[in-house]
Each structure stands twice: as structure tokens, then as C-alpha cells.
Structure 1
Amino acid sequence: MTDRWQPPQPGGSAAPRTATGKVLDVFRAFTQERPELTLTEIAHRSGLAMTTTHRLVGELAESGFLERSHDRRYRIGLQLWEIAALAPRGLALRELALPFLEDLYEVTHENVQLAVRETTEVVFVERIAGRRAVPVRTRVGGRFPMSATGVGLVLLAHAPMEVQEQVLSTPLPRFTTETVTDPTELRSMLAAVRRNGFAISDGQVTEDAVSVAAPVFGPDGDIAASVSLVVQGAGTRPASLIPTVRAAARGISRGMRTPGTW
């Protein structure tokens, strides 16, 4: 994954940032690749003046939304995590799904993943890593393009048409020689996912891995998440994993429809 942050463009005509916008720019300076930053780095990456950055970072650290380490670098604080945990598509979904994910892991001892869609990307809510399973390029809270992963194909297939068109109208990222980057071919794959109720991504993210994913539906019948197994590609029959993955997805879906649990 590349660093998603982009520096402010000089000479732009954007409207002046509000106080809230400046605080958000401070948070957006932190990424998966850069989880700890100095005050100077925060100012540079947020595009804020050093005096403004010093004031905002000081207030955020005092309130627990940022933390300062012994080497004077800053990182996201627990106070922000506590608030983020209230998001129903985050911790609440994870807690509801975890028993089914653990069962799926116990049956297979392979990588188990749970993800949701955020705009045009996948956000991983939970991951259980098999000790001897194939390495994966994901982490809890991490983002990934939807067009290549098993969970991403499921989420994209059931996304609103405008989201699908937005993804298909931009260059599709390539990770391996097997990655599908042709929009016409991807459209056919998405139609098959909707028709069959599962997705298989074989060697599209890493050449040695295959992902089998299925949709999780919320109380309103719309897709809420996707669950997947990621296994070693060599010697694996992906079709044999489909019933197990779909059973886990159906179990989570039933839990989301149970009154008082969601």
C-alpha cells in the first residue's frame, strides 16, 4: 500500500479551512505508513502553519485525542479510539461477527477477514491470522482498493451503481499479473458475484493467495459487510471453501436481523 496522503497544492483556489477542517487535517496527516509524526511533520503534511499546528496538537494531546511518545513524536490517542469504537460498522459489527469468524478460523486455520465499504475502498474491521497461513497485505483499520480483493469484489458488486461507475471509470490498480484491470472483464465478474452469492479472487493481490468471500446483509436487506478466507493458492480448490464462508456470512447476517443486537 502506498501512502494515501497528498501534500496541499500551491496556488489552489480552495476555500479557507474552518476550525473543524484544520483539526481533521491534523488527523489525516497520520497514515498506516506514518502512524507517528513530529510536530514539524504534522504541519508539513497538513498544510497548516506551525503556530496553528502547535496550538491544535497541544489541545488534542491535552484532551487525549493525540498522544506524545518519549521521543516527542505524536500518535493517535485512545480518546479518539474510544469514540471511533461507537461506530456501528466498526466495533459493534466486529463484536457481533467475531463468534462466526472464530468458528470459521477453527474449521480452517486460515486467514479470516471481515470488511466494510467506505466510499470506493475496503476497510478491514477484523482479521484473524492463521499461524501457518499465507501472508496477507491487510490490517485491522487498513484500507484497500475494492477491485482486486475477495471482500472488495463482493462489496463492489452490491454497491450503488454510481459507486461502481466511479471505480470502473478510473484506472484499476494492478498488484500481480493476475490482477483484473479491464473494466469490461471486471463488470462481468461483479455480475457473477451478484448471481452466485460469492467472489473468488485468485492471485490478484499476491500471486500465492486465493480469497473466497461472501456478503453479509443488514436488517434492511442491503449489504453491510463481507467475510472472506484467504488461503494458499497452490493445491487449493476454492470451490470447496465456498459453503463454509457463506455459512459464516449467513450467520452474521442473521445476527444483524435479531432485535436488540444491532
Structure 2
Amino acid sequence: MAERIDEEAPAVEETADSASELPKSVIDRAFLILGTFQGGRVRQSLSDISRRTGLPIATCYRIVQRLAEWGALERDGESRYRIGLRLWEVASLAPRSVGLQRLARPFMQDLYETTGYASHLAIREGTELVSIDRFQSPRRRVRRPLVGGRYPLHATAIGQVLLAHAPADIREEVLSGPLEAFTTNTYTRRDELEKALDDIRRQGFAVSDRQVDLIHIGVAAPVWGPEGNVVAAVSLALTEADIDGKNMVHLVRITANGISRALREAGYVDVAG
């Protein structure tokens, strides 16, 4: 018996205008569907996927079923889809994130256990940071970042470290674009962000004072690859009541240096995004 298409939300009609903006090939549409599983969206209905991609629900149904057959997606008992085990298996072969995560994890855990504060590891992909690991106490949960999530570079300590050491064209693209304000402390002017990036390169660390929310202060330092380029950054998320500035900066830099040394010894090769 054919499976009934989930229609809990209205189907998207593919008008002449909308159709011209959508990917034409099946593989591009499949990538579009997989790309909706970001930003904390772990489980989605077929209607959710249709709405977020702009694809007609019947088209989504056909592609989602094929992805599920291959194992890229899995369907649960509530007719919602999530990333499948086979896609995780393929992703585990990506050396840039998984290899780095494996080498950095013992240092990240030590930093978390020593301080009790949330520790975070991220890489840069284009003009965004991608979170690849974090440790945090279940009693002091920090909503962001989500592992696998993408975030702007200009507002967090870890993002500012990655931006400070990015190629000149990437820095220019970020500095020239709109700088979104998350709080009144967020850098929204080119000149103030540019000065902050200069200071980060000179000092070897960044401190972001409540630029994403009005609670957390971030301290971050760069992780250097064997070829002398910054391949990642590590950070701690503190509150104003917690902060012991000099000591936290010192511990974060020790952690970043330890990861850098481990990468050199392992012969880690980075392909920057």
C-alpha cells in the first residue's frame, strides 16, 4: 500500500515565479532538503521540510523517501524525519572536523573540568563559524552554540579569533557587510570591529563582553595548524560573576597551544573554507 503523504501543513504550490528560483536537479533538491536539518531542527515532518525548502510537498515526498531508503534520513514513529545513521557514517570520514575534534577533545574536556565553564571548539567555513564540539555542565546549560551549527563571526570571542586570522578577502567581506546587533555591546561599526581584530592578532586572544546575549562573556584563543595557519579556535563561556579574566585567558591559551601541538605531532592537514 502506498504511504499517505503527510499534509498537516498546506502544500507549497510551484508557481512559475517560485519554480524559477528553485534548484532544477534532483541532487540539488536533495541537498536543499538535507540543509534544513540545521539550527536545532533535529526532527521535521514532511510539511516542515516542504515549507522550509519551498518545494512542493509531493516533490519533497519523493526525494525524502529516496533519501530514507539510502539511509541519509530516518523516519520515526511520529512520521517525522531525522538525519540517518548512514549519513553520520559518511560524515565521520571528514578529516577537517572529525579529525580535529578527536585530537582536541581531551584538551577541551580538561579545560571544562578545570574551570567548570562551557568550553567550545569551532572552525571557520567561509564567512561563518561552524561549531564542532563543546563541553558543558548539565546544571549550567548554554543554549548556543549547537554542535554542527553555523554562526556569524563578528559577535563572539571564538568567531572574532577566526575572523582575525582569516584571509584578507574574508575579513573584507565581513567588515563590508551588515554587522547584526545581538545586544547593545555587539560590534556593528567597521572601525570598532577592525580595531578589535588588530588587538586579537597582537594579543593572541579575544574577549567578547556580552555581545551575543546579556549574560555571557567569551574568552577565546586560536589553534594553529602545522603549516602555521589558524585552523580552529577554542573558547570558554563565563558570566560576569564568574569571571577571573587573567586566569581564564591563561587557561584558554594553554588549551589552544596543547591542541596546536597535538595537531603538529599528528601531521594534521587543513583545507580552509
Give the TM-score normalised by structure 1.
0.89
Please point out which of 59, 66, 81 is paired with 1:52. 59
Please point out which of 243, 252, 256 is paired with 1:249. 256
The equivalent of 1:96 in structure 2 is 103
* Higher mean C-alpha deviation, range 47-56 or range 182-191: 47-56
Please point out which of 17, 23, 27 is paired with 1:11. 17
How far the C-alpha of 1:80 sits from its partner, in A, is 1.0
Structure 2 stretches lacking a partner, 5+ long: 1-13
Mapping of 1:20-99 within 5 angstroms?
20-99=27-106
Structure 1 stretches lacking a partner, 5+ long: 1-7
The equivalent of 1:219 in structure 2 is 226
Whole-angstrom CA distance in 2 between matches of 1:220 and 1:32: 32
* Higher mean C-alpha deviation, range 74-83 or range 129-138: 129-138
AA matched with 1:154? V
Q: Residues 10, 120 of structure 1: CA spacing in aligned structure 2 closer, same or farther, 3 A cutoff?
A: farther
Corresponding position: 1:108 with 2:136:
no
User: 1:67-103: per-residue Cα shift (whole Å, max 9, x none)?
Assistant: 1111111111111111112212222111100111111
Q: Residues 180, 109 of structure 1: CA spacing in aligned structure 2 closer, same or farther, 3 A cutoff?
A: same
**Number of residue pairs the alignment of both structures matches:** 255
The equivalent of 1:185 in structure 2 is 192
> What SS class does the counterpart of residue 44 from structure 2 fall into?
coil
Corresponding position: 1:237 with 2:244:
yes
User: 1:137-186: per-residue Cα shift (whole Å, max 9, x none)?
Assistant: 21211222110111101000001111111111121111222112111000
Whole-angstrom CA distance in 2 between matches of 1:16 and 1:132: 44
The equivalent of 2:8 in structure 1 is none
Q: Residues 98, 9 of structure 1: CA spacing in aligned structure 2 closer, same or farther, 3 A cutoff?
A: farther
Conserved 8 A contact 1:208-1:234: no
Whole-angstrom CA distance in 1 between matches of 2:176 and 2:267: 41
Whole-angstrom CA distance in 1 between matches of 2:129 and 2:249: 21
- How well do the aligned residues superpose, as a CA RMSD in angstroms? 2.2
Whole-angstrom CA distance in 2 between matches of 1:210 and 1:136: 14
The equivalent of 2:174 in structure 1 is 167
Seq. identity, %: 44
Whole-angstrom CA distance in 1 between matches of 2:251 and 2:52: 44
> What SS class does the counterpart of residue 249 from structure 2 fall into?
helix
Give the TM-score normalised by structure 2.
0.86
> What SS class does the counterpart of residue 116 from structure 1 fall into?
strand
> What SS class does the counterpart of residue 251 from structure 1 fall into?
helix
AA matched with 2:117? E
Whole-angstrom CA distance in 2 between matches of 1:9 and 1:169: 35
Q: Residues 97, 9 of structure 1: CA spacing in aligned structure 2 closer, same or farther, 3 A cutoff?
A: farther
Whole-angstrom CA distance in 2 between matches of 1:68 and 1:150: 38
